[in-house]
């Protein structure tokens, strides 16, 4: 049976493309790409001649049947996104589910992922961890998401965009408290920078930070019974006030 390969691509530094990833991209006749304009550049650089199929979050109803029909014909297909792993805050999950349901082989190729790069250099406990990806854009939903996360005693990894970072850190400070965190930006690129400190400290400089970034935030500390009672009472009173 045909194989669907999940092929990670570099998140900045082209030399992080692995030989196995290249082997697969050279071998398949079809690559399903999040943005074919970006993948063309990668293919030109590595002299890959596979046909590109567009596969992004707004055309899944066309892209998925197309990929499934290729698999049906016995063609292996590689999925790539613009950077890092497909399916991690990128398209990929839907086709993986469909391919599994139809009993095709689904094979992961190891490689680049911004979340894990950030986690291992963060200095925050690497396990257990929770990968959250992007928080919602609107403040109300973002607050609700953080409220749900605040009691999780696990390291949490977020993706964030520079134009939202100040707002997000302000909400984190308000809801999660002044925890230790690491802001990892421009990983594997020339201006790679890892900033470690309390949320309040990083907030002071966040407005000036540009580029792609990952936030690694320490988990909730074990609360004493008194603290749990105190927050429960506070939340109860707040609910009463809201009503």
Nearest to ligand SAM of 188, 200 (CB atom): 188
Q: In angstroms, what is the minimal distance from the CB of 117 to ligand SAM?
A: 7
3-state secondary structure of 159: strand
CA distance 121 to 123: 6
Q: Which residues pair with 214 in a beta bridge?
A: 159, 184
Retrieve residue 194's tokens.
């890892």
Residue nearest to ligand SAM (CB): 84
Give the DSSP H/E element, type plus range, for residue 77. strand 77-80
- Helix intervals (H) in 102-161: 114-122, 139-149
Q: Which residues bind ligand SAM (CB under 6 A)?
A: 11-12, 81, 83-85, 88-90, 113-115, 159-161, 184-189, 212-214
CA distance 96 to 116: 21
Q: In angstroms, what is the minimal distance from the CB of 6 to ligand SAM?
A: 10
Tell me if 18 sits within 8 A of 121, measured CB to CB: no
Q: In angstroms, what is the minimal distance from the CB of 72 to ligand SAM?
A: 27
Q: How many CB atoms lie under 10 A from the CB of residue 74?
A: 8
Q: In angstroms, what is the minimal distance from the CB of 69 to ligand SAM?
A: 26
Q: In angstroms, what is the minimal distance from the CB of 177 to ligand SAM?
A: 23
Instruction: Please provide residue 43's backbone torsions phi and psi, each rounded to the nearest 5 degrees.
Output: -65, -40
Nearest to ligand SAM of 30, 159 (CB atom): 159
Retrieve residue 14's tokens.
């082209």
Counts for the chain of helices (H) and strands (E), in that order: 9, 10
Q: In angstroms, what is the minimal distance from the CB of 161 to ligand SAM?
A: 6
Give the DSSP H/E element, type plus range, for residue 206. helix 199-206
Nearest to ligand SAM of 46, 93 (CB atom): 93
């Amino acid at each position: 049976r045909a194989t669907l390969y999940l092929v990670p691509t570099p998140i900045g530094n082209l030399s992080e493309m692995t030989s196995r990833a290249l082997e697969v991209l050279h071998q398949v006749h079809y690559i399903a790409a999040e943005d074919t304009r970006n993948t063309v550049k990668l293919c030109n650089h590595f002299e890959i001649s596979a046909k590109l199929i567009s596969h992004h979050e707004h055309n899944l109803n066309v892209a998925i049947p197309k990929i499934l029909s290729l698999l049906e014909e016995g063609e292996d297909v590689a999925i790539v996104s613009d950077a890092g792993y497909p399916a991690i805050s990128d398209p990929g999950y839907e086709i993986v589910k469909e391919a599994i349901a139809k009993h095709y082989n689904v094979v992961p190729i190891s490689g680049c992922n911004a979340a894990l790069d950030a986690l291992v250099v963060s200095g925050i406990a690497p396990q257990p961890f929770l990968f959250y990806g992007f928080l919602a854009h609107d403040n109300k939903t973002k607050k609700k998401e953080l409220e749900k996360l605040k009691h999780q005693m696990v390291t949490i990894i977020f993706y964030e965009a520079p134009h939202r970072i100040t707002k997000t850190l302000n909400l984190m400070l308000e809801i999660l408290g002044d925890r230790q965190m690491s802001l990892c930006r421009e990983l594997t690129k020339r201006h790679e920078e890892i900033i470690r400190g309390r949320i309040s400290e990083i907030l002071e400089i966040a407005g000036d930070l540009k580029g792609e970034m990952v936030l690694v935030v320490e988990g909730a500390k074990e609360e004493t019974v008194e603290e749990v009672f105190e927050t429960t009472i506070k939340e109860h009173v707040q609910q009463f006030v809201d009503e």
